[in-house]
Structures are given as structure tokens and as C-alpha cells.
Structure 1
Amino acid sequence: MKNGKTCFLIDDDIDDQEIFALVLKSVNPSIACVVANDGIEAVSKLTKEETFNPDYIFLDLNMPRMDGKECLQEIKKIDRLKETPVIIYSTSSEQKDIIETRNLGASDYLEKQSSVAELKKRLAHFFK
């Protein structure tokens, strides 16, 4: 199963999940997109399934139960994922969110785009 790369999207918005997965497939069809609906589900999957080692993690900030910042801190505690890039994927363009998530270990910050074309351009940057 591990010939292509795996992208793990953690986002509670179903529409955002579908758009992200479609755009990712158009950018690079060999990348599998696995989705968790919130931080608790994501951390549970990452801690219980030790063979699940995504190549990239895209993480929404505003989610119920466990927000993106808490989730990021939990992900960073998992040894096998220490080198996995975690990209914040959020509607927030607040400078404090960008700075805070970088300080917590996020490798990049991607603001959710209103246009599919713009999202495609941004994802192409990550998955060229």
C-alpha cells in the first residue's frame, strides 16, 4: 500500500474535506488522502495504529472537542511522527495563530482558499 504518499487531513468540515481530497487528487493522484473529523479522532488513530505513518498532516484549527493547537501538541508527542510535516489548514489568517502554531511545531500554515484554483496552486506547492 505504501507506494504512494499519504496525506492525513484533520478537519471537522465535510465540505472542506471533500474539496481538499478532490484538489489533492487533481494535483497528485498517487497521494492517498485519509481524513479524521476532529482532533480526538486523529490522535486516537495516530496513537492506536502504529503502522499509520502519514507523509503530511494538514490540520484545521477550529474544531469541536479538541482544537488544532491541542491536536498539534498531541501529534508532536508521538515519536514516529516527529519529522512529519504538520501544515495548519485554517480559515484564520490571524498572525497570532500563525506564530503560535509555528512555535508549537507546525511546519507551515495554509489559509483555506475560497477558490478551488487557488487551493490547487497552494497544494501543488507542497506536492510537486
Structure 2
Amino acid sequence: MNTKPNKTIYLADDDADDCMLFEDALREVSNSTELTTANDGVELINLMEKSVPPPPDVIFLDLNMPRKNGFECLEVIRSTSKWKDIPVVIFSTTGQEEMVNKVHEQGANFFIRKPGSFPKLKQAIKQILDIDWSMHSWKPSPENFFYQY
């Protein structure tokens, strides 16, 4: 029996309730996905220094976190050679155009505004999990970058 998870996901978010909701939604979408959470950007970078390689299949990254925010994490990830190709999905409550544009320019793969309902959260996670990243190493155009459910 193969016990290796289909996908490995890192989630960096300082909101414990959001992390629990994300995990619950993920379990309903895919029970063969391994989730590792970090409570802030410093914890995420420390985790990555210890455990990558192998890289996660995707990183969900909140922008507003203490110690090291999502912008700073994204900058470190994209400037570190062994991490620079890991897909990063910004997962934030903000939808301000200025912030969306900034992380697009910094090299994030997608920006998802945190959905207001559990079914929409499941839909957002499923959409990201369904992406074959080996076929999508490209950077999406700005109009295909921001998802709001």
C-alpha cells in the first residue's frame, strides 16, 4: 500500500481559526494531501530550511503575519535557488489591487482572496490542487492571477 501523500502543502497563516478551516476544507477535498502549517513567516522559512528538499507541491501564504509577512517570505522564496520554483499561492483577506499587483510582480503564482464560506473555500483549494504545476510554471497574466470566490 502506498502511504505517500499525493501532494504536500505548506500553509503560512497566523490566524488559528483560518488554519483549522483550511485543514477541514482540505480533508474534504483530498484525504491524501499532507498539510504542514506555520504560524508566521519566520516559522515558514525555518521549516523550509529544515525540510526542503523535497519541496512542497504548493505554498499557501497569508500576507498579514507577524515577524515576517507574506511579502517578505515571497521575496526570500523567490531569491533562494532551491525554492524559487515552488508554486506560491497568496491566500489573504485583502483584495487591494496594489497588493495583488505587488505580489504578482514578486513572482507569486496566484492570489486567492480568502472565501467567506466553507463551500467556497473547498472550491478554492480544489482548484489549486487540480493544477498540474509542471505544465504551469508560467506566471499567469494579471487578469488570470486574482481569484475571488
TM-score by length of 2: 0.81
Match for residue 47 of structure 1 among 29, 46, 49: 49
Distance 1:43 1:52 in 2: 14
Give the alignment of 1:80-119 within 5 angstroms: 80-119=82-121
Distance 2:111 2:4 in 1: 26
Q: Which has the higher contact order (CA 8 A, sep 6+)?
A: 1
Rg bigger for which structure? Answer: 2
Residue by residue, what CA displacement relative to the aligned partner does 1:34-68 show, whole Å, maximum 9, x if unpaired? 00000001011112333341110000000111111
Match for residue 78 of structure 1 among 73, 77, 80: 80
Q: Which amino acid aligns with 1:81?
A: W
Distance 1:100 1:19 in 2: 27
- CA RMSD across the alignment: 1.3
Counterpart in the other structure of 1:28: 30
For 2:35, what is the secondary structure of its paired residue?
Answer: strand
Q: Which amino acid aligns with 2:67?
A: R
Report the alpha carbon displacement of residue 75 of structure 1 after superposing the two structures with TM.
Answer: 1.3
TM-score by length of 1: 0.93
Distance 1:101 1:66 in 2: 15
Residue by residue, what CA displacement relative to the aligned partner does 1:89-117 show, whole Å, maximum 9, x if unpaired? 00001011111001111000010111001
Distance 2:49 2:26 in 1: 25
Runs of 4+ in 1 over 3 A off after TM superposition: none
Q: Is the 8 A contact 2:5 2:33 kept in 1?
A: no
Counterpart in the other structure of 1:60: 62
Percent identity, aligned pairs only? 37
**Unaligned ranges ≥5, structure 2:** 131-149
CA separation of 1:52 and 1:15: change in aligned 2, threshold 3 A = farther
Residue by residue, what CA displacement relative to the aligned partner does 1:71-103 show, whole Å, maximum 9, x if unpaired? 111111222222211000000010111110011
Distance 1:19 1:50 in 2: 25
**Unaligned ranges ≥5, structure 1:** none
Distance 1:2 1:77 in 2: 29
